[in-house]
Chain A
């Protein structure tokens, strides 16, 4: 039975006027930010150039030299192979960490006794340094992809698990009660109340985990791989090809910035548009 509105109340929406000026303001701000970043980059390049003038190239190669080295690397197929294999190992370790960390975090969060019981394990895992995992991995997996994957996994998994676990504790009992009054199934409560609550802490944890994972993957590769960026870095270092070390490092930095600004930031602002920004705006 439809209920036609007899006397719809009129409520005006804020007009579009201030909104357009707001977007204009934010574009101006973005432009200013961009020019500031470019300026910073130029400044760093100048400092680098000046510093390299008085030093031997194997200590600090000049920007031009590093660019030449990078260019001659990029055109080889081997560069992309190493790049790809490292990326694949990090992604693999990260995916495994998420696939295991999320359900485990939910389980420990949902069951208080279980959580209490396993709490110390997490502390221990968190205190073991990634280099130690790398050594263990070397013993267990030898020179294989799994060495790196394992190290990334052991670094990322506890981070994701902890964040998801803490996230389940912030689930609002009032909301669960609300779902109960509508007689929602357990699965629906999981999907409609728990999941949206866990998503922000999961995202924060996953972001950290990916960053750490990417960094420790290099350590693992220098110790236990015969391919990948970490391996090439060590090779270049052994041969005192400092310009190559720089080239690889810059590639990595560029990659992380690209992932951050092209994937994570947009994803975050899409997923969490509902969040109230602290400090207004």
Chain B
């Protein structure tokens, strides 16, 4: 099905003053099939850059990327992957429903099926009532839920998410956590996501990758061996979160 393997990846960015900025150094990371992996780390340590590399948007300067065990250059099934960016990137000239339909249009899904699946997914994120509303009329949290719906509607087997829930209020965030866990299970998804919230990482992920900044490198990879569903307020989760926070 779907898995990600990042092997010894390094990345430099050319700065405008001509100097090069070492952003990622020898990153090794694995997101095995049907697991949820979280990446945590300080701001600017290269988390988004890492996801961009996994999504095939930028080339690493060194190292390899394997998707489903295949080298990225030979990988064909890119449509089975979706990427929810750090910014919502909603097209302002499209309504919420039309934004969600975007990925389906690319895949050539017919109009009738598109409509049905968009409605289904909007309901999933609790925005059925807002299908015909333009992005500028939505709140920040609603916008990121539309973006989430857009990445789910194509039913990917591999989902990349960059701080997907950071703009949601605590209640809705927990509801979204439950939904994502449910869908991941139901559709056998592999998820790789970035978060600033260590508790969120512990509640959702079975593996947490901690990055150190300047240059970004893997400090440690933890396995979280708690049974799902995990309660954010439980002692075990709090315990894991505390020790993770200390390692940051």
Contact = CB atoms under 8 A, between A and B. Distances in A.
Interface in B120-154: 120-121, 123-130, 134, 136, 142, 152, 154
A258 B89 CA distance: 39
B83 A3 contact: no
Given A3-B187, A192-B105, 20 more contacts: A1-B155, A1-B186, A3-B183, A3-B186, A4-B120, A5-B124, A6-B182, A7-B178, A8-B126, A8-B128, A9-B126, A9-B172, A11-B127, A174-B85, A175-B89, A175-B91, A182-B82, A182-B107, A274-B134, A276-B136
A54 B105 CA distance: 70
A33 interface: no
A274 B93 contact: yes
A183 B136 contact: no
A125 interface: no
Contact of B55 (A3, A12, A181): A181
Contact of A178 (B89, B128, B155, B175): B89
A179 B150 CA distance: 12
Interface string A8-45: 11111100000000000000000000000000000000
A2 interface: yes
A85 interface: no
A12 B123 contact: no
Contact of B102 (A8, A177, A192): A192
Nearest to B152: A3
B78 interface: yes
B105 A13 contact: no
B63 interface: no
B84 to A, nearest CB: 9
A193 B89 CA distance: 12
B129 A11 contact: yes
A188 interface: yes
Query: Size band of the B side of the interface?
Result: 35 or more
Closest 3 CB pairs of A and B: A9-B126, A182-B106, A276-B136
A274 B92 contact: yes
A183 to B, nearest CB: 5
B37 to A, nearest CB: 19
A223 to B, nearest CB: 43
B222 interface: no
Contacts of A193: 91
A166 to B, nearest CB: 18
Contacts of B197: none
Nearest to A181: B83
B219 interface: no
Given A175-B89, A181-B57, A183-B78, A3 B120 contact: yes
A9 B79 contact: no
Contacts of A177: 57, 85
A276 B126 CA distance: 24
A178 B147 CA distance: 11
Most buried by A among B93, B120, B186: B93
B94 interface: yes
Contact of B106 (A5, A12, A175, A188): A188
Contacts of B103: 182
